[in-house]
A and B are shown apart, each in its own frame.
Chain A
Amino acid sequence: MPEQASMREAYGRTLLELGRENPDIVVLDADLCASTMTKYFMQEFPRRSFDVGIAEQNMIGIAAGLAASGKIPFASTFAVFAPGRCFDQIRMSIAQSKLNVKLVVTHGGLSVGEDGTSHQAIEDLSIICSLPGFTVIVPADAIETAAAIRAVATHKGPCYVRLGRPNLPVILDEDYKFEMGKAVTMKPGTDATIIAIGIMVAPALEAAEMLAAENINCRVLNMSTIKPIDQKAVIRAAEETGAIVTAEEHMEHGGLGGTVARILAENRPTPLELIAVRDTYAESGKPAELLERYGLTAKDIARAVGKAIQRKNS
């Protein structure tokens, strides 16, 4: 069993380090600093911290005003509340305005678990990817989280980083170098490609192992930057493996699967299977139970790979 670590903890600690390095970094939260882990920064830098209370729309506007005045605001809440609660504010005050705001949201996807539907963001990637100019990143573990947070801090322009609630297996090396907009080949392979994001990268690797036992050699790509997506890596996977499965903890519409489908349709039509939530809301339950019920496990991925390969060969 690989070591487990918290992405949120990695975010909070990295943000604190960045705060020590760069006085222009400011932090906003909407009454969730102990959950998003902005609390470490807030404790050390109270003057540069703004807890706006339970008012996400206002938080987005304030962040935009700070960015328009030269600050680098990190604004955090749960993924259901931003962009869910404040799409129009993000659209006008950040995206259209081309302002340098970093939205780092936590509790993405079904793995929120027991809190249920109201707290399970499964539409956020689709919403945020529809906004021109946004860079959208879904890290796969705590190490990639820390690296991605450093990258967005120096990137000029609006960024969205989506983190999960539970501890996740650490799958990247300590010296991992994050490159924005570049797919990471987690495992080479020639028979099919699994393209995964966030908490689905670990089960994708597990699925590839299961398939290896059946002599199926599966490539696994971690597409942590979902926008701008590494289009070349997708086309190369289509050319070299001829069968693709996407895996995301998100609705089937407009997220990773939808984006990959567009790239394939425009460039190289290829059998594609989506592992995603199928046009439904979920419910309360343990994260593992929910992932199983809504078809987001290693077994589901392996089955989908089998289907894609069958279509390729038919």
Chain B
Amino acid sequence: MYNIVTVMTSSDSNKKSSQTSANNAGVFHSHEALENVAKRLRRHIVTMIGKAGSGHPGGSLSAVDIVTMLYWKILRHNPSDPYWPDRDRFILSKGHAAPMLYSALAECGYFPVEELPTLRQIDSRLQGHADRTATPGVEMSSGSLGQGLSFGIGVALAARLDSRDYRTYVLLGDGECNEGQVWEAAMAAPHFHLDNLVAIIDKNGLQIDGPTREIMNTDPMEKKWEAFGWHVIEIDGHDFGKLTEAFNQARMVKRQPTVLIADTIKGKGVSFMENVAGFHGKAPSQEQMETALKELE
């Protein structure tokens, strides 16, 4: 049995809400409990970015449910041993969603939740964009878009060379798919038959300058990935049931990588941020932060 993170169903967000547990795989199935975790992560995100006065709430909130599903149900990992060679890897390619990753890592126990409010401050381990040299549990330094899938291919190839059965998950944005390197990597992963690699597109439909369809259209996304040789699964990125099915289906696919194209809502969970491109890289004011936290109670 592997160490995994389990979740207590306590709704008390002040309590340490996660623990590591050996010999205890997949005990956690309730979607309600997952929703509570996701809500806590959203509260962290809004609070951290509000306090920092800068950051990227929109694309952090859109990916929360995907990452909650991964860290609490899918990934084989052990927060007390971030460099465990057999851990599943989660690679955040859209590095501006770092607050979302930090919230998940802290709630899992990689570092104290109390550290979250230090985001973006001098001497903090929580850098403005994901930094593998600074934060326990962060696999890759990102923030310059388009690089994560290539990195993930390297990690997945190493698994094959070492005959290890860990799996590699890479989260990209749909705007990020404007970058040419994404398609270099999209070409390479099926060429190397990497069935231990899963890409997830957080398709929230917005990029900094406006709707992705208007700025640089990436649709039809599913046809592009399919043509490059990927097993494509399209889902609602906020539906825990569908996410579970999709990740389980990906495990069954042999000799080709899988991509989950997850339809999401940018700013999900905070009414005045939802589907607003302006909240890509803008912190909420104190008043907006309070309103948002009320909505997330």
Contacts and interface: CB of A to CB of B under 8 A. Distances in A.
A282 B251 CA distance: 54
Given A65-B153, A68-B154, A92 B161 contact: no
B249 interface: no
Candidate in A48, A68, A69 with the most chain B CB atoms within 10 angstroms: A69
Given A62-B188, A69-B159, A97 B133 contact: yes
Interface stretch (A51-59, A155-163, A189-197, A233-241): A51-59
Q: Identify whether the interface residues of B are mostly helix, strand, loop, or mixed.
A: helix
A65 B158 contact: yes
Contact of B144 (A48, A62, A88): A88
A96 interface: yes
A19 interface: no
A56 to B, nearest CB: 9
B119 interface: no
B153 A53 contact: no
Interface in B173-190: 180-181, 184-185, 187-188
Interface residues of B, number: 33
A76 interface: no
Contacts of A65: 140, 150-158
A62 B238 CA distance: 30
Interface residues on A, range: 20 to 34
A126 to B, nearest CB: 20
Nearest to A71: B158
B143 A92 contact: yes
A65 B93 CA distance: 12
Given A97-B132, A97-B133, A97-B141, A68 B151 contact: yes
B192 interface: yes
A55 B141 contact: no
A26 interface: yes
A33 interface: no
Given A92-B143, A96-B133, A98-B133, A62 B187 contact: no
Interface in A91-108: 91-93, 96-98
A40 interface: no
Interface of B: 85, 131-133, 139-144, 146-159, 161-162, 180-181, 184-185, 187-188, 192
15 contacts: A58-B150, A61-B148, A61-B149, A64-B140, A64-B150, A66-B157, A68-B151, A68-B158, A70-B85, A70-B158, A71-B158, A91-B144, A93-B141, A93-B147, A93-B151
In the complex, the 6 A-B pairs of residues with the closest C-beta atoms, listed nearest first = A65-B154, A61-B150, A69-B158, A58-B184, A55-B184, A62-B154
Given A58-B184, A66-B157, A93-B141, 7 more contacts: A62-B153, A63-B154, A71-B161, A73-B154, A88-B144, A96-B131, A97-B141
